[in-house]
Each structure stands twice: as C-alpha cells, then as structure tokens.
Structure 1
C-alpha cells in the first residue's frame, strides 16, 4: 500500500499519518487492501460503530436500496451524495474516516472532497464567528440539530450535510451566510477518481466527502474511528486547528 500526501505527490510514512491529518486533513491511499488500511489505523485509533457495519468500524458501501429511499440509506444507492460529514447529527462524530475502493462503478461514482478549513477561512472573512456559530443543522422534521461549525479554544469542528435528512440554517435569519456556505462548498469541491485499491483517509471534522451518481455495482469499504485518548494527536477528536479571528 502506498500513502501519498495530497497536493504534494510525496509518499508518506505510516507513522506520520496523524501529523499529516493534523496539518493537511487528508492522506491519499493507493494500491491498498482492507487489511492494510485496518493495520494503518490500528494502534492510534479506536473503531467507531455504525448500524450497517460488517465489522468494528467497517462498512461496505454498495447499492442495496432503490433510488426512492428517503433516509440515511441513500448512501446505499447509486444516487449522488453531496459533500457531508459522516455521522453529522450524532453527539460525537468520528474524527477519522477512511475509504478504500473495492470495485469501481461502471460509469460515474467519482469521489468528491471539500476542505472545510479552506471554506471556513473564507467564510470568516465575510462574517463574524458569532454569526457562523449560529448556523445549525435543521432536520426535515423541523428539529434543530448541532451547530454546523463548533468553535472551541483554537479549534473548530464542522458538521455538515445538505440533503433529505438535514440542511444548514441560520438561527438569526442570515440566509446570505447559508448561501455563502453552500456556494463555497460547491466552488472548492475536488474530484478524485478512485481505482480498485485507491482511497483516502481524512479528518472527518474538517473534510467533507461525497460522490457523483453512478451505474454498476460500485463497492467501497468505509472505516470510522476516533483517535486514542492518550495519543499526542487526540485533539483531532475535538476538531482542527484554526487561527484566532
């Protein structure tokens, strides 16, 4: 398995992965296997369970429902998935997410990534942190969920989705700020073609991920985890580092 620093095309050592996530938020995987990705995560992370998992922290994402599904099963269709945070509505979303392509789609199914740190940097030039902090996820049932951006001392954590489950809303009526957020995500999205054995490892509190619609039996392994509490980079579970405004 080959690990690559995204944007640098430089090979990364496995032991440097936590530091790279802290700095860049993403590491690309090439020519990997499920066993190798699990080994990569072992020792510095703990698996995070998911209702659809086939093993601790491991879910195989493949079409199993029809396109009319109207809940969290949308990931298990051939529909597009807009950029999102995994487990965004949960109290503690996993800090680490990895994917590995098992079988590419016949057509489509391109992976998409958005660096939330870049989006937030631009958004903070246009709005005060207090206004950004009042952006909340609102479910289709009308319930207000967690903040889209959680600010803590020196850190921020993004929880984002914009689909049939929930969408961003400003609790003080700044619809222009919501529009800015959506536009920035669209403008900064990066497409990533994944062949068999390719994937990515991201800081789930920083990077949004998704895919385009596809045809065929695309199959992807997804790993959810959090950083061990005694690890030097355990702070990744709280978010990513930001400069004060």
Structure 2
C-alpha cells in the first residue's frame, strides 16, 4: 500500500499520516487492501459505529435492495450522491474517513471531494464566525439542528448534507449565507476516479 499527497506523487510515510491529513485534509491511498487500511488507522484512531457496518468502523457499500430507510440508503445504490459528510446528523461524527475501492465500477466510480478548509476561508470573507455558527442542519422532521460549522479549540469541524433528509438553514435568517455556503460547496467540489485498491483518506476538521 502506498500513501501519496493529493495532486502529486509525493509519498507519505504512515507515521506522518496524521500530520499530513491535518495539513492537507486528504491523503490518497494506492494499491491498498482493507486489512492494510484498517491496520494503519487502528494505530491512531478509534472506530465509530455506523448503522450499516459489517464490523467495527467498516461499512461495505454496494447496490442492494432498498428498505424503508429512505434517503439514508441512497449510498447503497448505483446513483450519484451530492456532497456530504458521513454521519452528519450524529452527535459525534467521525473526524477521519477512509474509502477504498475493491471492485472498479463499470460506470462512474468517482469519489466526490470538497475542500472544507477552502469553503470556510471564503465564507469568513462574507460573515463573522458568530453568523457562520448560526448555520445548522435541519431535518425534514425538525428533530435535530446540529451546527454546520462547529468551532472548537482553534479548529473547525464541518458537517454537511443537502437532500430530502436534511439541509442547511440559518438560525439568524441569513438566507444569503446559506446560499453562499451551497455555492462554495459546489465550486470547491472535485472528482477523483478510483481504481481497485485506490481511495481517499479525509479529515473533516481544519485549523481556524
């Protein structure tokens, strides 16, 4: 398994993975296996439970028959997904996510990546942190409203989804800020085509 910096072929030492993720937000996996990725992450992370996991911290994504879970099962189809962070409505979502392609897709097969640090930098040119902290995710049932951007100890954690399960809104009525956040998400999105044994490791926290 090789770890390389995004956008170049500079190899990353496994010992420097946490530091590189903190700096760049993403590290690319090449020629990896599930066992190798798990062994690497087990060195410095703790698995987070997922309702669809097959083992601690491990979820297999493949098209399957739909149940009654609605939009939360959209990732288990062959349809494209809009940008989102994993477990966005969970009280303590995972800080690090690794995805590995086991079988190349006959069509599609791209990972959608958004530069959260860039989004936040540009958003802060338009609004103060207090207004940004007023951005929340509202579910269709109105039961949860976790922050889209959570400022903690000099860092920011970003959570996002915009679908029929939940979407962003402003507690201050800043419709312009919601629209700007959506625009920045779209403008900073990039697509990474994945082959067998390839995948991104991403972190959803960034320094502020």
Fold match (TM-score > 0.5): yes
Cα separation, 1, equivalents of 2:18 and 2:110: 26
Normalising by structure 2, we get a TM-score of 0.95
Matches within 5 A, 1:74-223: 74-203=74-203, 205=204
Aligned residue pairs: how many? Answer: 208
How far did 1:153 drift?
3.1
**Native 8 Å contact 2:168 2:178 kept in 1:** yes
Q: 2: CA distance between counterparts of 1:180 and 1:114?
A: 15
Q: More strand per residue: 1 or 2?
A: 1
- Residue in 2 that maps onto 1:232: none
Q: CA deviation at 1:140?
A: 1.0
Match of 2:47 in 1: 47
- Structure 2 gaps of 5+ residues are none
- 2:95 & 2:33 partners in 1: Cα distance? 21
1:28 counterpart residue number: 28
On the 8 A contact 1:65/1:73 being kept in 2, the answer is no
Displaced runs of 4 or more, over 4 A: 66-69
SS of structure 1 residue aligned to 2:99: strand
For the Cα contact (< 8 Å) 1:160–1:168, is it kept in 2? yes
Shift of 1:68: 9.3
Q: Counterpart of 1:39 in 2: which secondary structure?
A: helix
Asked whether the 8 Å contact 1:49–1:56 carries over to 2, the reply is yes
- 1:4 is aligned to 4
Aligned counterpart, 1:241 = 207
How big is the alpha-carbon RMSD for the aligned residues of Structure 1 and Structure 2?
A: 1.5
User: With structure 1 as the length reference, what TM-score do the two structures score?
Assistant: 0.81
Look up the SS of the partner of 1:89 in the other structure. coil
Structure-1 separation of matches of 2:46 and 2:143: 31
Q: Partners in 1 of 2:65 and 2:51 — Cα distance?
A: 15
| Runs of 5+ unmatched residues, structure 1 | 206-238
User: Partners of 1:144 and 1:59 in 2: how far apart?
Assistant: 24
1:67 CA drift (Å): 10
Q: Distance in 2 between matches of 1:67 and 1:123?
A: 38
